[in-house]
Chain A
Amino acid sequence: MTHGSLQRSVRILARVGVLMFASALPLVAQDVDPLVKLETRDRFAIDLMIDSANMAGLPSNPLRQMALLGLAKRADGRKIVEAVRKQLNLLRTAREVLGAVDDQELTAGASVLSAGAKPAQLATFRPRKKGRNDLQAFVVWTDFLERKVPNDDAFSAITKLWQDGADDATFYSLWTNVQADISQGLNPGTALQNRIRETPGRPTPLPVKPPEGAAGEPKLERL
């Protein structure tokens, strides 16, 4: 090996190293807003919808996340705009039927609507106790609809548990059992109906026994 050839080799290796480093640079440049990857026309449309959401008092982050999800999945720009528009409409509907809930619940409500629930069904969850959170109920409801549980069955099951004051663990337990049954081949609707029967909700109050001799239903002995 001559000194000249060694120098040439080192130069070649150095150039290869610079090329590898330069090609890796875009991977570390993460401070740029990822939405710039969209075409100007599509980005403008999305910015308009984000402004509309802000003006309407709706959370804009779900719209942004929808666009980012589309970019991550390499969706077409037009499809991304369409998805963001649909999400904005769902958020508007969820706001109308749920009222003044926090942004997280509103987003979860929009997911339920997206999965196929009717706005009137979602409106059942509008009156609520202070501090009551619907997130887990909405998550499980969304999943049931995605698993082809009939809409009315899913709605009645979730509503029953929610009105009975079921906690997050109860909803999660119901979901675990139902999806296990479905994965074993059971019909989704049947699986839910079977499991909802054995799912404990709030203990049903026992009927109050009227005191002996009090006015009430007539006693046979007296007749």
Chain B
Amino acid sequence: MNEPKVAITVLCAALLIPSSRDIAAQLASKVEAGQYTVRDGALPMSAIRFAPTVQFEFPHGTLKARGAAFLSEQSLQLADGIVSGTFTSPTVYGVRAEMIGNASRAMDDRSLGTDQVDVQTRIHFRFQQHGGLWFGGGVARPWRVAVFSAADVTDAGAWGKLGSPTAKFGTATLTATFTNFAFSKIASVHDTGSAQLSCASSSSSSLADRGPIRGWFTESSNNMSACERQSRFGDLEGSLHWEVGAFELTAQTGRRFGDSYDVTADSRRWTAATATIWLSDRIAIVGGGGRQPALPLRGLPARSFGMAGLELAYWPMSRTSVPVSLPRAVLVKAFEMRPASAGMHKIIIHVRGVETVDVMGDFSDWSPLMLQRRGRDLWELSVPMSPGMHQINVRVDRGAWMAPPGMPTMRDAYGGEVGLISISPDKTAH
């Protein structure tokens, strides 16, 4: 079995793994199928794309594995794969830290396969639940491209949220980011004139001194007239994520700053948009198009793309244009409890547009339990509950604890409010 088939088999098998209800983690999966058309890229003119995703979510972290493959001309071709982990600190006075690690492979074509490992740390500042800032920095290590140093990546951004999911025009999240990349790359005197200039002006050493690079970039290593050059460019990007009812729109536009050697003309500006119409919790029509800039660290050229497809989400992934969990007000639309197996009750919560939903109560010794996403706005968890009166709290996106809607409540002894559930010996819950 060749490499793409192994990867696809593993990812498909992961979709079949049932999630455990006893651990504070979940598996989430997504399969996308669509028709893609790509011009001036290495991809075929049209292809069907599959992108299964497996995600474990923990109270302060997330582990995610995602793969994508294209089906073109009756053959399955691995496109990319990424394993990522995120660790998030608790929020203290509106400040939280985030550490992100990724290992990825991009393989749009067998001759264009690249690998990268990157680690990044961010500090987020949140203001009044409607906006925030973040600053971060990290290092990315690519392989099999004309870049032989680790890239220093620094970024800063700001976001603001308008409206609410219950408002007529829904929620709009605006984000602005600036990301700076600095790395060393190989420049050849046989390249453009600007390359010659850059080689001449740089204080780098000849590649003849860099023996081990042959293993990763053999073509240039044979070319003794190549030199090492410090490259630097910055991306300024603005994005909009708008959700109203079953409709979602995500649009980005950006501009890249840097000299002509580091930034090609076709990557100076870009704009792209994707629209999603949810037919149900698990099926959506997706369409979009635009232009993506080149990714020098991955050796990928700029490209235009058009896409239309159907998204089938067994347990849909959350989608947000802001890389930090948004605090939410009272968004929980419905709360329900049903008797499950012996001694167990299933908690069902409908809340849309959030990343996590937790409950806690006397049944959990007041320890948070994370619900599992079962649909676009559907969250479930089975908990042990004996007959009697129980107290319960719910929170979304690790915000404030509150009493669930649609149930009797009382003030607790600490200034909060708890929901009251009475379970009769015949197991009915009210």
Q: Which residues of A contact B (CB under 8 A)?
A: 1-3, 5-6, 9, 12-13, 16-17, 20, 23-24, 27, 30, 34, 61, 65-66, 68-73, 75, 79, 82-83, 86-87, 103-104, 107-108, 111, 114-115, 133, 135-136, 138-140, 142-143, 146, 168-169, 171-172, 175
Contacts and interface: CB of A to CB of B under 8 A. Distances in A.
B17 interface: no
A143 B237 CA distance: 50
B362 A104 contact: no
A13 B420 contact: no
Contacts of B366: 34, 65, 68-69, 71-72
Contact of B414 (A24, A61, A79): A79
B414 A83 contact: yes
Interface residues of B, number: 49
Interface stretch (B209-217, B273-281, B337-345): B209-217
Nearest to A75: B414
Given A20-B99, A143-B420, A172-B430, A1 B410 contact: no
Contacts of B360: 72
- The binding surface of chain A is classed by DSSP as helix
A24 B24 CA distance: 13
A3 B414 contact: no
Interface string B361-374: 01001111000000
A58 B365 CA distance: 19
A133 B430 CA distance: 14
Contacts of A136: 422, 424, 430
Interface string B357-393: 0001010011110000000000000000001110100
Nearest to B417: A146
Contacts of A61: 362
B422 A2 contact: no
B414 A1 contact: no
B46 to A, nearest CB: 37
A24 B428 contact: no
A175 B408 contact: yes
B62 to A, nearest CB: 12
Contact of A24 (B58, B210, B410): B58
A214 B428 CA distance: 50
Contact of B416 (A6, A13, A73, A87): A73
Contact of A1 (B61, B213, B368, B411): B213
B59 to A, nearest CB: 6
B61 A24 contact: yes
Contacts of B410: 111, 114-115, 142-143, 146
Interface string B410-430: 111111101011111100101
A81 B314 CA distance: 47
A16 B60 contact: no
30 contacts: A1-B143, A1-B212, A2-B210, A2-B213, A9-B117, A12-B139, A20-B87, A27-B58, A34-B366, A66-B413, A69-B412, A70-B413, A72-B368, A73-B401, A73-B415, A75-B414, A104-B387, A108-B422, A111-B420, A136-B430, A138-B389, A139-B430, A140-B408, A142-B408, A142-B420, A143-B409, A146-B411, A168-B422, A168-B424, A169-B430
B216 A143 contact: no
A143 B410 CA distance: 6
Given A1-B213, A66-B413, 14 more contacts: A1-B141, A16-B101, A20-B99, A24-B61, A34-B367, A65-B365, A70-B414, A107-B388, A108-B388, A115-B411, A142-B408, A146-B410, A168-B424, A168-B430
B416 A135 contact: no
Contacts of B391: 65, 69
B332 interface: no
Nearest to A146: B410
Contact of A146 (B117, B141, B409): B409
Contacts of A108: 388-389, 422
B149 interface: yes
Contacts of A66: 413
Nearest to B148: A1
Nearest to A19: B99
Contact of A107 (B389, B412, B418): B389
A82 B362 CA distance: 19
Interface string B324-348: 0000000000000000000000000
A133 B117 CA distance: 61
Nearest to B401: A73
B368 to A, nearest CB: 8
B119 interface: yes
Contacts of B415: 73
Contacts of B289: none
A33 B412 CA distance: 22
B33 interface: no
A12 B141 CA distance: 12
A40 to B, nearest CB: 21
Interface in B43-102: 58-61, 85, 87, 99, 101
